[in-house]
Amino acid sequence: MTQKPTKNPWIWVPTLYLTESMPYVVIITVSVIMYKNLGISNADIGLYTSFLYLPWVIKPIWSPILELFGNKKQWFLSMQLILSLVFLGVGMTTGVDQFFTITLAFFWMGAFASATNDIASDGLYLIALKPDQQSFFVGMRSTFYRVGMITGQGLIVVIAGNLEQKLSNPAQAWSWTMIGVGALMLTLTGVNYLSTPKVIEARVAKEDQPSFGKVFSTFFTKKNIGLSLGFVLLYRLGESQLVKMASPFFLDSREAGGLGLSTTEVGFIYGTLGVIALLAGGILGGILISRDGLGKWMIPMAFAINAPNIGYIFLSWLQPEHVVFATTVVFIEQLGYGFGFAAFMVFLIFLAEGIFKTAHYALATGFMAMGMMLPGMLSGYMQQWLGYPGFFVWVVIATIPGFVMAYVVKYPREFGKKNS
């Protein structure tokens, strides 16, 4: 039987998910900016950094290892320590010969460690909290995951840019930046060591311990698994394409169909008001599901995550000059995204129910990653083919399968309700 912890989730859930998201965005997104500033060609950047995403897609393959051996806290603390050393290694080698090959090797190690950290962190969340607590804190969890991404895409890049201007040496600037990221990661690892609960996990008797095959097969033989996976893949079909092209739309010139905003303006829109809206929507969504259950809020939340995309159609048609119009659309879209994403996360928790929660949640999030990756890969081609107005109309059309799946997918209506 799993022993439930006494430590306050308000303390450890935010830091755990901040530490889960920040390494991901540094490895996947910030590495691209770093290599561009250090003179690597776009072809090499596109080819090699794209492969860094692979561990998150295939992480379900080794998730049973975490289910069968060790405990979740030991796993994620070990991975976070490795990530600290990875970023320190990147920082110490950016100025050497063959730095591209060496730092890319470090990032590869970091990618596998970060994907494993995701599995273990999610596993602790699932076994340390009761179902009603999982629903209540899902908004907080997803919010701080996004805060970690904004920290990486915003604060870390700004620091590197300022250092480049002061030092007039991009290699040295990125060296100090990555060493700083390693130090920050080490600090967060220490915080998680002190704040996260110790949980005695339920174990299957050794003679009854399942094989890897059984761990996987029990996921794919769940009741209504086809509908469930259809929901996971299609719920964010529109959003998965919008998220790739929104910033280029804001930054592109008005002649090219964009709004011609500056990088600073886009950073302000997403990094301040967008974050506030995301926080409010995510927290509110978690609270309402924990109060009423998933069934009452699934359709309203599907509407919230998809309907605000219509605002981008009007922006692309009218191309308003004042930044307040773009800010309003982003604020509403991020508020709806935070609110609607709460239903998605609670459903993933439901899908992972059973003895192999950690491995099954990893499988579910693997399909989630696929649902974002595959449409996102095509979004640029669709935008070039249709132009921005046509593209955003297409994005809205692409939300229809998400509405359909939200209506037909099967789950207990009371799931996630406090004391249900």
> How do residues 215-253 score in pLDDT, each as one tens digit?
778 888 888 899 999 999 999 898 888 876 776 687 678
Number of domain units in the chain: 2
Q: For the chain, percent helix, then strand, then coil, each to nearest 5?
A: 80, 0, 20
Flag whether 230 is in a domain: yes
pLDDT in the model for residue 264: 59
pLDDT in the model for residue 184: 94
pLDDT in the model for residue 207: 47
Flag whether 188 is in a domain: yes
C-beta separation of 123 from 72 below 8 A: yes
Question: For the chain, which residues score pLDDT lower than 50?
Answer: 1-3, 206-207, 420
C-beta separation of 178 from 88 below 8 A: yes
Q: Is the domain of 381 the same as that of 342? A: yes
Q: What is the DSSP letter of 155?
A: I
Q: Is the domain of 158 the same as that of 21? A: yes
pLDDT in the model for residue 1: 43
Flag whether 132 is in a domain: yes
Indicate the pTM of the whole model. 0.68
C-beta separation of 240 from 391 below 8 A: no
Q: How would you classify residue 410: left for phi > 0, otherwise alpha for psi between -120 and 50, otherwise beta?
A: beta
Gap between the Cα atoms of 19 and 419, Å rounded: 30
With H, G, I as helix, E, B as strand and everything else as coil, classify residue 384: helix
pLDDT in the model for residue 322: 87
Q: Is the domain of 40 the same as that of 119? A: yes
Q: How buried is 58 (Cβ within 10 angstroms: 0-12 exposed, 13-18 middle, 19+ buried)?
A: middle
Flag whether 415 is in a domain: no
pLDDT in the model for residue 60: 74
- Give first-to-last CA distance, the chain, whole Å: 20
Which residues, 6+ apart, have CB-to-CB distance to 340 below 8 Å? 281, 285, 301, 302, 303, 304, 305, 306
Flag whether 418 is in a domain: no
Flag whether 386 is in a domain: yes
Q: Is the domain of 164 the same as that of 250? A: no
C-beta separation of 38 from 170 below 8 A: yes
Flag whether 420 is in a domain: no
- If you search the block for the tokens 């899908």, which residue do you land on? 351
Domain coverage including residue 396: 216-408
Q: Where would I find the H helices in 307-356?
A: 310-318, 323-351
For the chain, give the number of residues.
Answer: 420
**Residue 334's CATH number:** 1.20.1250.20
Q: Give 172-222 as a 3 state SS string.
A: HHHHHHHHHHHHHHHHHHHHHHHHCCCCCCCCCCHHHCCCHHHHHHHHHCC
pLDDT in the model for residue 420: 47
Q: Is the domain of 28 the same as that of 144? A: yes
